[in-house]
Structure 1
C-alpha cells in the first residue's frame, strides 16, 4: 500500500471535509484501487476570510486473497458398480478483492474417514474436472473440462464437477473419497493461468501488497492461498442370488395324481432370482438355461417371466414371455427390487 500527502500550510480554525467514498462489497474494495481523501481548511485573520488551503491523501488498496470450496449438497453421491462418468459437485467461491485464477486438483484418498461418517475403500479411474459452463447446475455435454478456473471475479462463484469411472466388482457400501483443492493464482488474462501468488513479507511496500487471508479446509492450512473440501461416492449395488427347483406335474401312468419322474413325465422348472435387502434394483435380468439332451421343451406352456414366489412355492403367474432357441431357454426379468424375488418358469418332458 502506498500513500501520498501534502502538509497543511496554515493554522487557525479548521473545517474538514471528506470528498470521496468507495462502494462496499463482500470481498472489499478492489485490489489496486486508489482511495483519495481531500481536505480543505478555511480561516480568518482579524475577522476577515483568508485564502484557504487544502491537502489530499491517496492510498493503494492491497490484494487480500481469500476463497472457499464446498461440496454441493450434504450427502454422499450414490453410484452403481461399473458406472462411467459418475459425478460429484463442488462450489469454488472467490472472496478475495481481486479477479483471480484458481488451480484445481481432485485427489483420491487412500483409506481413512470420508466426508459423511464413512470410510474410503476404493479408487475410481479416469478422473476429470469440468466447469458448469452453461449454469445448468448439472453435468452435461456443454460443460468444459478444465484444470483451473479462469478469471473468477471477486465475490464470484463457480460450480465444478469431479467426474470419474467406478470399477465394476464392488459391493454395496463401498466408498471412494475425493478432496478438491483450489489454489489462488494471479489473474493471467483470459485463457492463461496466472502465476503463483506470494504473500508480501515485511513492512508495507510501494506497490500493491498481497495478503493471504484464507481459512483452513479439509486438508490445507491457514493462510496458504488454498482451500479444500471432501465429498465421496458410495456404491449401491444389486446382490442377486438364484435358485432352481423342479416339480413333477404329471406322468403317463399316474396322470396328475401322485405323479412320478418317469419317462414321459412333465417337469416344471422354476428359476427364482432374489435381491438382498438394502440393495439397488437389478434391471434387465437375463436368464439362460440350456436343456439337457434327455429333456424335451414344452412349447405349449412356453416360458413365463416376472412371476412370483408365495410361501416358498414358485408360482406360474409370470406375465412376461421368454424364448426357446438352440435348445436353450432364455428370458428377461424386467426388474428385481431390494428384498424381492422374481421367477422364470418353463416345462419339459423326460425323454
Structure 2
C-alpha cells in the first residue's frame, strides 16, 4: 500500500496504544486488600456492636500479560530493490499489573532476500538491524536480539516500539519475500533470566500468573518485507525489408517486399528493439533506457517506427532510447532501418 497511508495507519495505532490510562493495569502486586465485618446483637436490653468482628485479607498477585503486534497494515511492508532504511514496526505492550523487562528475539524466516543481522545498525546492503523506541518520535536505540537481552522495565500499560530496519539488496527480484518471527518473553526483575510462573504463595505473598494469549509467557508476531519490482525483458531481431538488387529501393520509406530474405550488400534491413514489463510485475519500470550500437557492416538509415519511447537519439551508429514509465503488461518498441554495406 502507499507509504503515506501505511504511516497514517501506524500512527493511529501508536497513539491509541500510548494513550491507555494507567487504571487499565489494576492494583499492583503486593497490595494488601482487606475488609472487616461489623457484628451487633442485643443482650440485657442493650445493643452490643463489635467493630471489625472478623476480617479477611489477601495480597494482590501479579498478572503477567503482554501483547506484541505489527503496526504494518496487513503485516507486510512493500519495498523496492536497493531501498535503504526500510522499516517494519511492531509494538510490545505490557498489559499486566507490574513493570516487567522483556527479551525480544528476531529471526528471519523464508528469507528470499538473504538478509543478515547487523546488531550495530550500520545499514549495509543486505542487512537488517533492530531498534527500540520508548515512545513515538523518540530516539531509536540499537537492540541486539541475540541471546537474552533486557529491554529494561516496561511499566504496566507501557509499551516499546520495536523497529526492524533493513537495506534491501539491489539484486532482489519481484515478489521476493523475507518474513520475520518476532517474539517477546518476560524476564525476572533483574533481567537476567526468563520469569516463570509462581504459584502456591498463599494469601500473604505474591503469585505470578501468566495471562498472555497462550498462557505460556511467550508472544509471537510475524511480519514481512516483500519486494515489488518490474519484470523486464528485452528482445532484438532483424529482418530483410528489401534485397534492393536494383539499387533503387528507398530504405527509409519503402514498404517491405515479400520473400525478401537475403542480407546482400545494398539490402535494406530492419532491427526491432522491444522492451517489455511482464503483466504480473509488482511495479512499473521507471527511467528505463537502452543503448544499442549498430554493428560494423551496416549503416544507419532511419527510424521507421517509434512506439512508446519518450526519447530517441541517434549519433552515428549509436541508438539510445528512454521511457519514463513502463507499466506492468506494457511494451515499447522501435524499428531501425539500415543498409548492408
Same fold (TM over 0.5): yes
2:92 maps to 92
Cα distance in 2 for partners of 1:164, 1:92 equals 20
Cα distance in 1 for partners of 2:103, 2:334 equals 55
Task: Between 178-187 and 199-208, report the one with greater CA deviation.
Answer: 199-208
**Shift of residue 262, structure 1, vs aligned partner:** 6.4
1:5 maps to none
Match of 1:163 among 150, 162, 165: 165
CA spacing shift, 1:196–1:209, aligned 2, 3 Å: same
Cα distance in 2 for partners of 1:31, 1:150 equals 19
2:10 maps to none
1:245 corresponds to 2:237: yes
CA spacing shift, 1:60–1:203, aligned 2, 3 Å: closer
Match of 2:327 among 323, 329, 337: 337
1:291 corresponds to 2:289: no
Cα distance in 1 for partners of 2:139, 2:234 equals 43
**Shift of residue 285, structure 1, vs aligned partner:** 1.9
Cα distance in 1 for partners of 2:315, 2:134 equals 51
Within 5 A, what are the aligned runs for 1:94-243? 94-109=94-109, 123-125=114-116, 126-131=127-132, 135=136, 143-147=140-144, 149-186=151-188, 196-204=194-202, 207-216=205-214, 222-223=215-216, 225-243=217-235
Whether contact under 8 Å (1:87, 1:161) holds in the other structure is yes
Whether contact under 8 Å (2:94, 2:157) holds in the other structure is yes
Task: After superposition, give the CA deviation of every residue in 1:184-218 in whole Å (9 maximum; x if it has no partner).
Answer: 12456xxxx575423325443854332223333xx
1:35 maps to 33
1:74 maps to 74
Report the count of equivalent residues: 293
Cα distance in 2 for partners of 1:320, 1:172 equals 25
**Shift of residue 345, structure 1, vs aligned partner:** 5.2
Whether contact under 8 Å (2:174, 2:227) holds in the other structure is yes
Whether contact under 8 Å (1:134, 1:143) holds in the other structure is no
Within 5 A, what are the aligned runs for 1:38-77? 38-50=36-48, 52-54=50-52, 57-72=56-71, 73-74=73-74, 76-77=76-77
Whether contact under 8 Å (1:69, 1:91) holds in the other structure is yes
- Could you list the runs of 5+ residues in structure 2 that have no partner in the other structure? 1-20, 117-126, 145-149
Whether contact under 8 Å (2:100, 2:188) holds in the other structure is yes
In proportion to residue count, which structure has more helix?
Answer: 2
**Shift of residue 240, structure 1, vs aligned partner:** 1.3
Cα distance in 2 for partners of 1:122, 1:272 equals 29
Whether contact under 8 Å (1:92, 1:157) holds in the other structure is yes
CA spacing shift, 1:145–1:342, aligned 2, 3 Å: farther
SS in 2 for 1:74: helix
Whether contact under 8 Å (2:135, 2:161) holds in the other structure is no
Cα distance in 2 for partners of 1:332, 1:31 equals 68
Whether contact under 8 Å (2:173, 2:227) holds in the other structure is yes
**Shift of residue 157, structure 1, vs aligned partner:** 4.0
Whether contact under 8 Å (2:275, 2:331) holds in the other structure is yes
Whether contact under 8 Å (2:135, 2:160) holds in the other structure is no
Whether contact under 8 Å (2:134, 2:159) holds in the other structure is no
CA spacing shift, 1:286–1:150, aligned 2, 3 Å: farther
Whether contact under 8 Å (1:333, 1:343) holds in the other structure is no
TM-score, structure 2 normalization: 0.68
Cα distance in 2 for partners of 1:181, 1:175 equals 19
TM-score, structure 1 normalization: 0.67
CA spacing shift, 1:24–1:91, aligned 2, 3 Å: closer
SS in 1 for 2:157: coil
Cα distance in 1 for partners of 2:49, 2:76 equals 73
- Could you list the runs of 5+ residues in structure 1 that have no partner in the other structure? 1-22, 112-119, 217-221, 303-313
Cα distance in 1 for partners of 2:36, 2:200 equals 29
